[in-house]
Amino acid sequence: MRWLALWLCLGTCSSCSGAQSALDPAGEEARQIADLFWLMAIAGGFIWLTVIGLLVHATRHERTPIDERIASRLIFWGGAAIPSLLLFLLLGYALWLMPGLRPFARAGEANGLRIEVTGEQFWWRVAYHLADGGVPILSANEIRLPVGERVEFLLKSTDVIHSFWIPALGGKMDMIPGRVNRLSLATKPGTYRGPCAEYCGTSHALMTFTAVAMQPAAFREWLSVRANPSPGASLPGRDIFLRNGCGACHRVAGTQAEGGVGPDLSHMGSRGTIGAGVLPTDDEAVRSFIAHPHLIKPGSKMPDFNMLPQQDIAEIASWLKGLE
């Protein structure tokens, strides 16, 4: 039994770090939330231990009649005054933190870069709006951020309510159809994982994204590469992709594929995962996704393309994977 308890404790500790842990903060907002968590956990633990200690004390000692005045004082202080004071202090601290976590509070500090993220069933549409007001740079399921610079997120949804959350960087913000919610975040270098934090349908649990924080110079360089269409080498896969109508739903910058229904596939090969975090970007995974998206991602809008010859699927996969 003791070993089981120890094992369970160690199991909980293992989630205290990593790419998707609110307890391993990499941004100012996440640090404040983690501080609040630890304060609440320590205060709660202390109160629990005190109550359990008193309980054990009460069961072990011989009961002698207690003076009524002392009993009333005990009830007043232990039962009403001290708990109220503790709750008041904890609530006060939480309220004091709130202004800094509110959507607009730090928007003024944003450096002009706004990243529009739209929740879709079951992936993330991403558009970078630069300060110069030029054409937005489109992407999907991966967000790149400049280290140390505050970025403003514009969060939307087109179908149902999703929720945007990068636990290591800050709090959650719902994505609600018909409105734009705002969140501003700054980050340390690293790669973080963000889940969808609101049940949105069959593949809700398969809706994640990666946030990669890069040094500002590397980030600008990355943006400038994205701003210039790269049709990829003229491989047979490109013609097969276009011939089979994939471009009606997907966009690949620099080709006739201009569809906006599914994820933007320009530079797909440079992303670490496909299907919004479901599989690694390797040949086999891309081939299986094209052939049977419903087996990998139940409820997705993409039809199965298993009727295509295996060779054609392999050619499309190798072209897409080469789009870096």
Q: Are 138 and 147 in contact (CB under 8 A)?
A: no
Residue 155 binds ligand CUA (CB under 6 A)? no
Tokens of 61: 């000692």
The nearer residue to ligand CUA, 115 or 246, going by C-beta atoms, is 115
Rounded to the nearest 5 degrees, what angle is found at the Cα of 172, between the Cα atoms of 167 and 177? 140
The nearer residue to ligand CUA, 13 or 205, going by C-beta atoms, is 205
DSSP characters over 142-183: EEEEETTS-EEEEEEESSS-EEE--TTT---EEE-TT--EEE
Residue 232 binds ligand CUA (CB under 6 A)? no
> What is the identity of the amino acid at 157?
S
Helix (H, G, I), strand (E, B) or coil at 24: coil
- The nearest distance, CB 124 to ligand CUA, in angstroms, is 9
Taken in order 137, 142, 147, 153, the sign of the CA dihedral is: positive
CA distance 30 to 65: 51
Residue 173 binds ligand CUA (CB under 6 A)? no
Residue 193 binds ligand CUA (CB under 6 A)? no
Size (the chain), residues: 324
Q: How many CB atoms lie within 10 A of CB 175?
A: 28
- The nearest distance, CB 199 to ligand CUA, in angstroms, is 6
Using the contact rule CB under 6 A, the part of the chain among 77-85, 147-155, 193-201, 218-226 near ligand CUA is: 193-201
Residue 140 binds ligand CUA (CB under 6 A)? no
Residue 313 binds ligand CUA (CB under 6 A)? no
Residue 289's nearest CA partner among 304, 276, 301, 277 is 304
- The nearest distance, CB 261 to ligand CUA, in angstroms, is 17
Question: Between the CA of residue 310 and those of 78, 186, 232, 289, 304, what are the distances in Å?
Answer: 73, 45, 22, 13, 13
Please, which of residues 107-126 interact with ligand CUA by CB under 6 A? Answer: 119, 122
Among 148, 199, 224, 307, binds ligand CUA (CB under 6 A): 199
Using the contact rule CB under 6 A, the part of the chain among 185-193, 198-206, 266-274, 295-303 near ligand CUA is: 198-206
Among 198, 264, 312, 315, binds ligand CUA (CB under 6 A): 198
Using the contact rule CB under 6 A, the part of the chain among 26-34, 36-44, 51-59, 197-205 near ligand CUA is: 197-205
Binding site for ligand CUA (CB under 6 A): 119, 122, 162, 196, 198-200, 204, 207
